Amino acid sequence: MTSLQPISLPPRWLPLRLLLGGIIFAGVLLLIPRHDWMLHTSLSGFLVRCGSSLIVLAVGLLLALCIGVIVGLRARQMAQRMERFIALLGRALACVPVVVLVWGGLGGWIGRLGWPVETLMPAQFPDAHDSWHTLLAQALWKFLAPAFILALPLAGEMIHAVIVDGRSVLDLDFPLRARGVPRASRLWLHHLRLLLPLLRVRLQSLCLIASVYLIIIEDALHFLGWGEWMAQSLRAGVAPRLAIGFASGGAMLALLCLCLQVLPGRLKCAGGFVATLAWQPWLLWALGAQAFVASPSLLWIMLWIAVFVSGSAGWIQAWNRIEAKIPVEAARVFGPSPGMIWRRHIAGLQFRMLAAWICSVLAQTLTGIAAACAVRPALLEKLCAPLAKLYRPLAIASAQDAAHTLADPAALLLSGGGIALASLCLIQVSRIVQPRNL
Amino acid sequence: MILARTFILGFPLLVAAAAAWAVHESRISRMNRTEGVVVMLSQNEPVLNPFLPATEVEQEITDLVHEPLIRLGAVGTLQPGFAEFWRWSQDVTCWFADEATARKAQELLHAQLGEQNRWAEWHLDSVRVQEKRLLLSFTEPNSAGVQQAFEVVAGLNLKPVVFWRIERRTPLRQSWGQFMAGSSLAGQIQRVWFDGPNACEIVVAGDSHKLLEDMHRFLDISREEPAAIHPLAEVGALSEPVLDLDIRPGQHWHDGTPATADDAKATLEFLRGNDWPLPNREALSNIQTLESQNNGARLHVSFRRRQGTALCVFVNLPILPAEWLRAHPAAQPADFMEHAPPGAGTHRIAARDSQSLMLAPVQQDKGMPGFLFNFSASPLMTQIGMRTHAVDLVWPAADQTYLEQLRFTPPRQRLVVLWNTRHEALQHARCRLALALATDKDALISALPGRLGHADASLFAPGLWFSTLAESQPFQLEQARKILSEAGWPRADAGPARSQDRPLRFTLLVPGVDALHKRTADLLVAQWQQLGVEVKIEHVPDALALSQRLHEHRFDAVLLDQRFEVSWDQLPWWHSSQAKPGGSNFCGIADPQIDLILEALAAEYDPEQVPRRVRELESRLLPLHPLLTLFTTHDEAAAMPTLREKRSARGPVSDWTLQTLTGPPRLTPTAPLIQLQLRQPE
């Protein structure tokens, strides 16, 4: 999802800002009157949930990073067309709604192969847990199943990022080759060293969206973690529960981003209020806010605002880079009016940027609606008929829906494939239309 | 570089390898389950009140965990449970003016042990004197020798024995307690039996006049509102049927404490103290006294009424430990859920929470499987369980894929149409026969939802040792039309069947709550229309209204659920004495010959004689077509191919229970009814 918008540089003290953002949003939710303060859980139980989700997030992110780097660097050794194709595949994978990945995966794993997913299995006789390795295996698989599913879209993002960002860093391939540095060293030492700061930023931005993915995945797998708690709270619309969820979510994201700081290499931090705003989990917040809004138009406005704000810093930074290279001063030498300069040198670029931005926002809205409908199937009723038809297989509201999807995931896959294709097409149009650095 | 590369390449490989191993281990651990049967149930956590199972599954869990005094065996015969042996006898008590007269009476009876040994002829076992009382014990509950023995002592100043009934508008127990404690004449009262909170019946030996005055003093609410005390009967001696149940030695509860007759006594007293709708409830309420004898090895039960089917009250009635019952004197659902009583059955509750219940076999060496019940199983969880072969049974069957693996439980009830023979048309047996012939039960079963089975025409539950499996009328519409025409209701073309002055029409009363009843009624009306009969459906809103309509005989035909009970007493439903308004012979059958058979059947104490009497009754009653049986209703479970059943269960069988999975049916021989040898007086 993040690859659909231009990447922006994070602000300074990102972990702190994320923590504060979560707390502030939780505070805003608590302003909503008529609270039900019954949280129906203990503090230790909730902390265990958060810990479990942190493990899943960490494993998922690490897997995504490793797969992205392996595939991306491997693609770099191939022909340029092949490299672009692999980047496109990565982007396509990132465009597939997570609910499709999780239910499609379950359909194949359980429905077709008949293999177990620990969190979804019926109770078992305790005698079967005799051996320690059985216990260990079950615990391991309990955590790895959601981590694998989480890693899929994130890996798509990372593959795309490794290939695209690989082109934006200094290409030392020729001089290193001239010095006789072996290919493996050129790639895994020098190129990766240059790439790592960018990948760190990518991973940090992925953390923001991964929290939403986690809610969908844990909810589908009945994994008792922070995500499942949030899914329940979002459906119930209980403000105090959501507030705790957002505050703890902010803390989890802060912790993850802090851990990612250990990756070597630093980039210049972005300043300003816009970067602070953009580097917040806006989609997560939008889902939370939607739980308290009845008007259909407001629901989607919230989603657009989330998409707009989360991409704002990236678009502004991209425009600033382009604007800096527009030869306005040189044009003034020839004495045209400012209006003419704007028409001749800026208007076209601004129009293209606007078109690219609209396409990008539309693409991200498509996947955002999928996430919102997956978490709160009731939202489906607030969509217009054609969209509701498209998203209906993704909104698994009841156990019967789930059983039906498990038995025959064709409708889900068709719908998800359609959304992914539409999203991919829009983002490709956005990429084509968007002006390059001049 | 090497480190980074190793990590980047190694981490996904390591995670993939760990996942592959974990999946493999997890699969193996779930596939190699040998220890038990995993059952998925869509119902929520059950209360597991052993006396009030809400569903078939609860009934079967109860059967696994709890042990009754007498069990209904796999082949429908009475089998020993807690009770190893049981026997009926009869106690007769006579009251005399003084002890000397009582001893004289005893001597007179002992004198009958002469050369002729009339005791053996009378089935008299013992004669004892207790103060002014003479106690005669007969080995036969229906012995004619009672009268002959009584005639021997009748000349000696016997005190009359009078039955009184006391009724009051307000609860009686507290005042009665005060009377018994405070009245000097209370010793005259030999037996007390409470019929609800506001009424009781007493047995008084001797003159009752002063006693009645004293009772009024204690029991009258006010001078204007005295307690109603009126006599029921006066006899020379009190005769009471007695059932002795010998408890099997060496039996223990799941908590290790020994099971004795005290537990059985406490259970029966507990049940008499509440108003749960148990099978054979009336027989339970007719228990006069309960005694634990021989250090808890025998339960001695005396009844206030002669009722041969009283034995049935103990059949499949779970017994609970007295200690648990003392700790939960007014047990509520929460008590059964949070502090489940230990049983003495083949399985014990090993673990229980809101989501699951685990039953472990008590005797591990017998190779019985354990059971793990998953409650509130969603269709998703069920589907996952089936796909991953992690479950063995899904109850009720949810997936069409496993339809060929269905297991049907025994029927617990059936649907019948009861005719009111007071109706101008339905009073004719041939008309009722025509309606039976015009009823296509196969079409009903195939058109209605749920798992329905073919019901026979017998008055009794199927699968019992006295079941007759009387054949029901096959569907023969033309024959039905012919019979109806001969009976005076010919049908012109497709019009209604009508007599000379009016068409054949009646109203079918249908309980309005159950969808199955409604749909059945619609289909029946459509089928009977083919015969030319106009049937109007009338729904009754609730059970109370239905009961009122039935007791007032304000119906033509009624669709009723007949719950199967282990009992051979049919007297309340068909005896002419019950045919008057308020009686329970709703059908209105009145036949003196049938009355005699019904009376003999109700008074039959010997289960071995019951089949003969049942056949006799049905041969007389069924040709009158008093009711039309439609179908039985069953529960169904889907068995997964992984289920290792001890007994082959191919195709639809209707006697499948969870007990089937625990091994071959227990073929314990029927407990012999011991014929006690005559003892010489000491």
B99-103: long-range contacts at Cβ-Cβ below 8 A with a sequence spacing of 24 or more?
B99/B129, B99/B131, B99/B132, B101/B132, B101/B156, B101/B157, B102/B129, B102/B131, B102/B132, B102/B133, B102/B134, B103/B129
- pLDDT for position B672: 41
Of B8, B35, B385, the CB nearest to A122: B385
Q: At what angle do helices A98-106 and A348-375 cross, to 10 degrees?
A: 40
- pLDDT for position B677: 38
pLDDT band at B129 (very low <50, low <70, confident <90, very high): very high
Mark which residues 153-192 of A lie under 8 Å from B by CB.
184-185, 188-189, 192
What's the CA gap between B621 and B601, in Å, rounded? Answer: 13
What DSSP character marks residue A42?
Answer: -
Query: For the residues B633-642, what does the mean pLDDT come to?
Result: 81
Pairwise CB contact (< 8 Å): A122 & B390: yes
Counting Cα atoms < 13 Å in the Cβ hemisphere of B55 gives 16
**Closest approach of chain A CAs to the CA of B379, in angstroms?**
6
- pLDDT for position A324: 84
Give yes or no for A133 touching B (CB within 8 A).
yes
Which residues in chain B touch residue A262, judged by CB atoms under 8 angstroms apart?
Answer: none
Of A63, A111, A184, the CB nearest to B15: A63
| Residue with more model confidence, B4 or B66 | B66
Considering only CA atoms, which of A168, A169, A158 is closest in space to residue A203? A158
What's the CA gap between B252 and B88, in Å, rounded? Answer: 26
- pLDDT for position B664: 59
pLDDT over 60 at A389, yes or no: yes
**Closest approach of chain A CAs to the CA of B14, in angstroms?**
10
| Residue with more model confidence, A438 or A424 | A424
The per-type count for chain A, helices as H runs and strands as E runs, is 19, 0
Query: For the residues B49-54, what does the mean pLDDT come to?
Result: 92
For A322, residues 6+ apart whose C-beta sits below 8 A from its C-beta are A349, A353, A435, A437, A438
pLDDT over 90 at B66, yes or no: yes
Considering only CA atoms, which of B612, B540, B45 is closest in space to residue B334? B45
Pairwise CB contact (< 8 Å): B383 & A125: no
- pLDDT for position B652: 44
pLDDT over 90 at B598, yes or no: yes
Q: Which residues of B52-75 are buried (b: 16+ CB within 10 A; e: fewer)?
A: ebeebbbbbbbbbbbbbbbbbbbe
What's the CA gap between A372 and A288, in Å, rounded? Answer: 10
- pLDDT for position A130: 60
pLDDT band at B667 (very low <50, low <70, confident <90, very high): very low
CB pairs under 8 A between A and B: 137
What's the CA gap between B597 and B575, in Å, rounded? Answer: 9
pLDDT over 90 at B633, yes or no: no
Structure tokens at A266: 């630093």
What DSSP character marks residue B62?
Answer: H
pTM here is 0.74
pLDDT over 70 at B515, yes or no: yes
| Residue with more model confidence, A175 or A68 | A68
pLDDT over 50 at B680, yes or no: no
What pLDDT digit, counting tens, does each position of B71-107 carry?
A: 988 778 899 999 999 999 999 999 998 899 999 999 9
- pLDDT for position A77: 85
Closest alpha carbon within chain A to B355:
A123
Query: For the residues A326-331, what does the mean pLDDT come to?
Result: 80
Query: Using CB atoms within 10 A of its CB, is residue B490 exposed (0-12), middle (13-18) or buried (19+)?
Result: middle
What pLDDT digit, counting tens, does each position of A1-59 carry?
A: 455 566 778 888 889 999 999 999 999 888 877 656 665 677 888 899 999 999 999 99
Contact of A354 with A48, CB cutoff 8 Å: no
Which residues in chain A touch residue B384, judged by CB atoms under 8 angstroms apart?
Answer: 110, 117, 120-122, 406
- pLDDT for position B650: 47
- pLDDT for position B304: 86
pLDDT over 70 at B669, yes or no: no
Pairwise CB contact (< 8 Å): A125 & B379: no
What's the CA gap between A312 and A319, in Å, rounded? Answer: 10
- pLDDT for position A397: 79
Structure tokens at B11: 């981490």
Mean per-residue pLDDT of chain A? 85
Mean per-residue pLDDT of chain B? 86
Give yes or no for A219 touching B (CB within 8 A).
no
- pLDDT for position A313: 83
pLDDT over 80 at A184, yes or no: no
pLDDT over 60 at A104, yes or no: yes
What pLDDT digit, counting tens, does each position of B249-306 carry?
A: 989 999 899 999 999 999 999 998 888 888 888 888 889 899 999 999 999 999 988 8
pLDDT over 90 at A100, yes or no: yes
Considering only CA atoms, which of A313, A318, A315, A329 is closest in space to residue A438? A318
- pLDDT for position B654: 65
**Closest approach of chain A CAs to the CA of B399, in angstroms?**
10
Give yes or no for A111 touching B (CB within 8 A).
yes
Mutation pick from B374, B380, B394 vs chain A, by most beta carbons of A within 10 Å, is B380
